[in-house]
């Protein structure tokens, strides 16, 4: 039986140019909504988290409209259809999509995807959906890997970076991950099959790059920016491809101030090597989502990609889950599980 009320998280403060705080979030109780024609009621089982959600909470223009004080916080998630007035969905279907931070979401059917057979919901969110599509499409369409390439990934123990490394191995690359801490580095090599790692907290990135990449870096997949980007630009191989996917080093800076991290000083090496630097934003590649979903689901089923989500329990922990991304607390895709069934 569907309850009459539900819990949801609303934005209570805009984290402009500063780290997130607990006071930016408000847990509220709201009445349940019923699906209208063409809509589906989804009981949320998992919420997924990515650094870009902080920018959505800021009171600034971006590629996604910012939320207002009192709005339900947007995000992505997966769940089970509780009621449907859409011909393509029936109660009991497992689905995923842009689910807000609430226990039940009323969604247009066209905004949802059905979970593929044989792929659990936590794997759908950690290997497919936003992170998986980003990892696959940014690497394959922008990085253009060739067997034998040296692929270096910053933020390699995060949701996107850990997938990029596994996809790179499937493509025949030599994969080097940059991550923070011995435990994360060991996870990348021992469990995910990376060839080598650099612990930016305990090692000098530039000197380790010289040791590990004597012929240079063919593909750099950047999730961090800042000094790490600068260090890798100094080690580019001829015709290298630099994929700018994220820049978590600058997410707590106010873009309207003059205190942003300095740009990379080694950018002119792009001229010497004939390299390219290209940004990636998943919505620009929407027509390629079916390709990414099919390839990723197949690799999960045959065990070539491992789904290792970082799970917290209970919707009350949603703010803590998002803040963990900026503290380096997560390993792999950060999820919150709302229900056990």
State whether CATH 3.40.30.10 applies to domain 130-284.
Answer: no
Ordered by start, the domain boundaries in the chain are 5-120+307-337, 130-284
Mean pLDDT, rounded, of the chain: 88
Q: What percent of the chain has pLDDT over 90?
A: 59
Enter the DSSP assignment of 215. T
| pLDDT for residue 325 | 84
Q: Take residue 322 and report the two structure tokens written for it.
A: 């998002």
Helices (H), ranges, 194-288: 205-212, 226-233, 269-273
Output the CA–CA distances (angstroms, integers) from residue 147 to 70, 144, 174, 292, in the order listed: 50, 10, 8, 19
In tens, the pLDDT along 295-327 reads: 998 898 888 988 778 889 999 999 999 998 887
Of 48, 46, 54, 44, nearest to 11 (Cα)?
Answer: 54
DSSP string, 16-70: TTS---GGGEEEEEEE-----TTEEEEEEEEEEE-THHHHHHSSS--SSPPPPTT
pLDDT attached to residue 283: 84
CATH classification code of 5-120+307-337? 3.90.180.10
Express each pLDDT in 230-257 by its tens digit: 999 999 999 999 999 876 655 555 555 5
How far, rounded to the nearest angstrom, does the alpha carbon of residue 339 sit from its chain's CA centroid?
22
Give the pLDDT of residue 95: 94
36-71 residue pLDDT tens: 999 999 999 999 998 888 888 887 655 566 788 999
Predicted confidence at residue 288, as pLDDT, reads: 93
Largest pairwise CA distance in the chain = 66
Helix, strand, coil percentages in the chain from 3-state DSSP, rounded to 5: 35, 25, 40
Residues linked to residue 39 through DSSP beta bridges, in sequence order: 108
Q: Is the Cβ–Cβ distance between 151 and 174 less than 8 Å?
A: yes
290 CA to centre of own chain: 18
């Amino acid at each position: 039986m569907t309850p009459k009320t539900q819990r949801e998280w609303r934005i209570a403060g805009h984290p402009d140019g500063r780290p997130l705080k607990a006071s930016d979030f408000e847990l509220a109780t709201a009445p349940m909504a019923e699906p209208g024609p063409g809509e589906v009621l989804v009981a949320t089982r998992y919420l997924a988290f990515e650094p870009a959600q902080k920018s959505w909470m800021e009171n600034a223009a971006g590629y996604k409209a910012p939320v207002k004080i009192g709005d339900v916080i947007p995000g992505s998630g997966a769940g089970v259809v509780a009621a449907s007035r859409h011909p393509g969905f029936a109660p009991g279907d497992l689905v995923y999509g842009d689910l807000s931070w609430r226990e039940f979401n009323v969604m247009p059917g066209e905004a949802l995807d059905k979970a593929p057979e044989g792929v659990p919901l936590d794997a759908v969110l950690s290997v497919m959906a936003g992170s998986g599509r980003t990892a696959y499409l940014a690497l394959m369409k922008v990085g253009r890997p060739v067997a034998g390439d040296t692929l270096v990934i910053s933020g390699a123990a995060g949701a996107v970076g850990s997938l990029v490394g596994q996809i790179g191995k499937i493509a025949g690359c030599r994969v080097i991950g940059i991550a923070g801490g011995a435990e994360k580095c060991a996870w990348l090599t021992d469990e995910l099959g990376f060839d080598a790692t650099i612990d930016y907290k305990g090692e000098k990135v530039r000197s380790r790059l010289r040791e590990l990449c004597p012929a240079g870096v063919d593909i750099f997949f950047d999730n961090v920016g800042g000094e790490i980007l600068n260090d890798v630009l100094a080690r580019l191989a001829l015709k290298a491809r630099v994929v700018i996917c994220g820049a978590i080093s600058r997410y707590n800076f106010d873009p309207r101030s003059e205190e942003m991290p300095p740009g990379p000083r080694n950018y002119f090496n792009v001229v010497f090597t004939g390299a390219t630097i290209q940004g990636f934003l998943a919505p620009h590649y929407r027509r390629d989502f079916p390709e990414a979903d099919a390839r990723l689901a197949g690799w999960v089923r045959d065990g070539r990609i491992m789904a290792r989500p970082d799970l917290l329990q209970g919707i009350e922990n949603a703010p803590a889950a998002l803040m963990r991304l900026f503290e380096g607390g997560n390993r792999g895709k950060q999820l919150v599980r709302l229900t056990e069934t």
